[in-house]
A and B are shown apart, each in its own frame.
Chain A
Amino acid sequence: MTSETAVVARPKPGRRRRSVPGGGGLWRYLLIRFLLIIPTVFILVTLVFFLMRSTGDPITAALGGRLSGPQLAERIAAAGYDRPLMVQYLEYLGQILRADFGRTISDNRPVTEVLFTYGAATLELAFYALVVAFIVGIPLGMLAAYFRDRAPDAFLRVFAILCYATPVFFAGLILKLVFAVGLKVLPVAGRASTGAELQIQFLPNKTGIYLIDAIATGNQAVVNDVLLHAVLPGVTLGLLTAGVFLRLVRTNLIGTLGTDYVDSARSRGVSELRLVRTHAYRPALIPIITVMGLQIALLLGGAVLTETTFEWKGLGFQLAQYLQARDFVAVQGIVVLLAVVVALTNFLVDVIAAIIDPRVRY
């Protein structure tokens, strides 16, 4: 649930953005920004590795109660967990460079395979959530800024805070209670009903993204089924992010609405709505996009909880399962993948922000 404070408490000039040089420095900036991904991922991988190992080796954690002492020691030696930690760390770094995350302990699958299979599902969920967040958050944020300090603004702000204050798993439970259990209009959980799931499983080249796969089956009923299953999880996770987007857009718009150039446009007779929609929104977009990038972390954290609530078999759901099983090799793999995703997204967002800012572009 990071970054809620970021909306408000974040130092006003974005830390990296201001140091962007004008003119031909853009490529140089992008290059440096790209290279910064490496230490970021490295730091997180290191942190996660040592934290997870600080309690002991993964095999004892996962199978501790079930195997006898000698059996356990044998397994540990076989996996090389009895060597010095630094040696294991360096080896792990080497493995990661080769995109090899080892094998899970609980069900003995390659972690890489787990990541690919369930990553697609999480990607799909994140996409739905982002669609909801954009559709709900941005226009409402503009509206709130337009009506600032009047009743609609107060209403929208409380709505935004509620979106954020409601833990996603609780929001999910309530939505389930109302729409799935009470009104029975939407499915309770899962990504598709059993029939649809089977059809998708028999496809020759599955993408793992059910919407695309469902379309590939050519069966309208399957597509509908997949979409219906996506509504509740998408809305649940989307609203969480929408609340943040709403506040982000509102705060930044109010900031730019107070600037001289908006006053200057107003003095030329530009209408109030246009002032909000164009003159204030476009300059506000640069900080908005930068902070939106940081919301990817919020979204992924939320995805773990949403997937668990709706049994949406993605990385988050799987992560929770592996956590229950104390399968720390799998957990570590998933966490590292998410770190890479976060670093890449933040880089892309910074690139976009730099490109839409004419002060950087020219």
Chain B
Amino acid sequence: MNEEPEDCVLDITDLRVTFATDGGDVRAVDGLSVRVAPGEIVAIVGESGSGKSVTAKAILGLVPETATTSGSIRLRSRDRSRTTEIVNASRSTLRALRGEDVAMVFQEPSTALNPVFTVGWQIAEGIRAHDRVGRREAMRRAIQILGRVGIPDPETRARHYPHQFSGGQKQRVIIAMALVLNPGLIVADEPTTALDVTVQAEILELLRGCRDEFQTAIVLITHNMGVVADLADRVVVMFDGKVVEQASTVELFRAPEAEYTKRLLASVPRIGQGRDVAAARAVSRAAETVTVVPAVQAQDLVIEYPGRFGRAPFRAVDTVSFQIAPGEILGLVGESGSGKTTIGRAIAGLSPVSQGSLKVLGHEMRGIREREFRPARVEIGFVFQDPATSFNPLLTIAECVAEPLIVHSRAGDARAARPAVNELLEAVQLPRSFGDRYPHELSGGQRQRASLARALALNPSLLIADEPTSALDVSVQSKVLELFTELQRELKFAALIISHDLAVVDLIADRIAVLYRGRLVEEGTGAEVLASPRDPYTQRLLASLPVPDPVQQRIRREALRGLLDGAR
């Protein structure tokens, strides 16, 4: 860590970035100092609002003009011929070094590519912005780099438009764009957050390749400790704009020093944590569940979305069978497009069932009318993925939580419901006074608690939670999950937890069902599914999940490689 000053591609000293907002100035980055050596991968880790993304943008001088930047960001070119100060650099200076000395990989591959130009053109455009080369030569180099990032048949693919690529391939194209001028440094801002776990593993592999092959240094911005453990050499932990801790990856995970880092690491869910709990619960419940009617029973369930303009319907859920016993928690795991959300919506009566049978609390959902199902809604609670959008922004939290009580005539109006609402807020560990606030005045975790309070207002016997924690930071996530487990133990409702995160599901579910492209590929207790998965997809899913432990992750990486090679 004690590089000579001249032996680093990036040297940030005492960086401060301040934004003007409606609520006054906010210091997003406050005195950050980091150095990155050639070929080194440095991860900047933090939760939302920690200033990590702003740091990434500042390195390329992309911070909006309304922000004030001070301190120093010194960037050295790959051939060591020039060093540039980024802070307060002129537009033309910045333009000259962007792409040439430093490149950026964006979080959302679907929005970082221009939809109306071919990917080959977009890569060539970057080349021609710096080198005086012909159109054809630029395109030749674009095709070459596409091949190197693992796009098959690059000659043809270069002529394709972004929408013709899958999410993972788009991210490869973006990495190709970053690599094409061979910069000494790549800033990757949450490069895998928008991707499925199995695709994430591939992209991480590619980024590692960039470093090994091109000796490119990488500044990796992420909130995912598993990704850090997998890729980074060194870690910078940020909180509230300040650096909390800076250490080598192995060191940080083995012996975190700062209190914040310890808490952060402790709150990351790990596979296998939930096993003992689930086993204990299973034993205690075993006797009672045998004879009762299941809360949810799906038999060869098929859900199709009608195709537009007379095209074939899209089958989102394909002959799926499962059941949830009263008081049992089923975890439904799958990647995007697996149909997991559709199943949840069908149980709540939001999506119609096409074929097969779905019984919810004794009601057959196929062809049911809203009028017939309405009485049963008292028994069902629903927690939505994004707590920011699941509350009417114009109603107070108390009014929102009171809605189910009023609708089902348990209370005349919001005022009459207030005592009950207060009790509910207390149950989810929110202060009573929060009832008078508007949703936007609460933080994400607080809103999700309120959302839980609303779902439990009528004391339902079935709760459906669609990605309840995926919009939350890990430290908040662990608290919400804890609360959920506690409430379930008390109120004994059956629950369906839908998530893309195996670790989250493992933590709270009794049984786990794995969905892949609308089909149920595996189902069993956490111990069965996670310790000895039978289906190849489950195996791959499990192996792709990076664990927050660099030593163990190295072993797992090899195992995944073996698994994929074996599959070929």
Contact = CB atoms under 8 A, between A and B. Distances in A.
Complex contact flag A–B (Cβ < 8 Å): yes
A28 B161 contact: no
Given A261-B112, A282-B114, A268 B174 contact: no
A270 B309 contact: no
Interface residues of B, number: 35
Interface string B102-119: 011010100111111100
A270 B129 contact: yes
A283 B113 CA distance: 11
A269 B183 CA distance: 12
Closest A-B pairs by Cβ, 7 of them: A268-B126, A269-B99, A268-B99, A269-B98, A260-B111, A267-B104, A358-B161
B320 to A, nearest CB: 27
A100 interface: no
B108 to A, nearest CB: 6
Interface in B119-169: 122, 125-126, 129-130, 160-161, 163-164
A139 to B, nearest CB: 20
Given A260-B106, A359-B163, A265 B311 contact: no
A55 interface: no
A29 B62 contact: no
Interface in A26-44: 28-29, 32
A269 B160 CA distance: 23
Contact of A19 (B62, B108, B308, B310): B308
Contacts of B310: 28
Nearest to B130: A269
Contact of A272 (B91, B104, B177, B309): B91
A261 B114 contact: yes
Contacts of B308: 19, 21, 25
A261 B170 CA distance: 12
Contacts of A359: 115, 161, 163
A267 B113 CA distance: 12
A260 B108 contact: yes
B129 A269 contact: yes
A262 B116 CA distance: 12
Nearest to A261: B114
A19 B104 CA distance: 33
A16 to B, nearest CB: 12
Given A19-B308, A21-B311, A357-B116, A269 B97 contact: yes
B285 interface: no
Given A19-B308, A266-B62, A282-B116, A362 B164 contact: yes
Contacts of B106: 260, 263-264
Interface in A272-291: 272, 274, 279, 282-283, 285-286
Nearest to B107: A260
B129 A268 contact: yes
B368 interface: no
A282 B310 CA distance: 31
A22 interface: yes
Contacts of B95: 269-272
Nearest to B161: A358
B114 A265 contact: yes
A259 interface: yes
B232 to A, nearest CB: 22
A120 B177 CA distance: 52
A21 to B, nearest CB: 5
A48 B363 CA distance: 53
B310 to A, nearest CB: 8
Interface of A: 19, 21-22, 25, 28-29, 32, 259-272, 274, 279, 282-283, 285-286, 356-359, 362
Contacts of B98: 266-269
Nearest to A284: B116
B407 interface: no
B549 interface: no
Given A267-B99, A359-B163, A32 B309 contact: yes
Majority-rule SS of A interface residues: helix
A358 B163 contact: yes
Interface string B85-102: 000000100011111100
B309 A261 contact: no
Contact of B125 (A22, A268, A356, A358): A268
B451 to A, nearest CB: 27
Contacts of B17: none
B309 A25 contact: yes
Contacts of A357: 116
A266 B160 CA distance: 22
Nearest to A267: B104
13 contacts: A28-B310, A263-B106, A265-B122, A266-B62, A268-B125, A268-B129, A269-B97, A269-B129, A269-B130, A283-B114, A283-B115, A283-B116, A359-B115
B60 interface: yes
Nearest to A271: B95
Nearest to B174: A264
B77 to A, nearest CB: 13
Interface string B56-91: 000010100000000000000000000000000001
Given A25-B309, A29-B309, 17 more contacts: A21-B309, A28-B310, A261-B114, A263-B106, A264-B113, A264-B114, A267-B62, A267-B103, A268-B129, A268-B177, A269-B126, A269-B130, A274-B129, A283-B114, A286-B116, A358-B116, A359-B115
A25 B310 CA distance: 10
Contacts of A283: 114-116
B123 to A, nearest CB: 9
Nearest to B123: A268
B99 A259 contact: no
Nearest to A274: B129
B100 to A, nearest CB: 6
B383 to A, nearest CB: 28
A266 B122 CA distance: 12
A323 to B, nearest CB: 43
A268 to B, nearest CB: 4
Contacts of A32: 309
Given A268-B126, A268-B177, A269-B126, A263 B309 contact: no
Contacts of B160: 362
Nearest to A23: B311
A261 B160 CA distance: 16
Nearest to B307: A21
Contacts of A22: 163
A70 B116 CA distance: 69
A260 B126 CA distance: 15
Of B104, B116, B125, which is in contact with the most chain A CB atoms at under 10 Å from its CB?
B116
Contacts of A268: 98-99, 103, 125-126, 129, 177
Nearest to B309: A28
Contacts of B125: 265, 268, 270
Given A21-B309, A259-B111, A358-B116, A270 B126 contact: yes
A262 B113 CA distance: 8
B373 to A, nearest CB: 30
A259 to B, nearest CB: 6
A153 to B, nearest CB: 14
Contact of A261 (B96, B99, B111, B126): B111
A263 B113 CA distance: 10
Contact of A267 (B60, B163, B164): B60
B221 to A, nearest CB: 14
A264 B57 CA distance: 11
A262 B108 CA distance: 13
B173 to A, nearest CB: 11
A264 B161 contact: no
B6 to A, nearest CB: 25
Contacts of B177: 264, 268
B128 to A, nearest CB: 9
B233 to A, nearest CB: 23
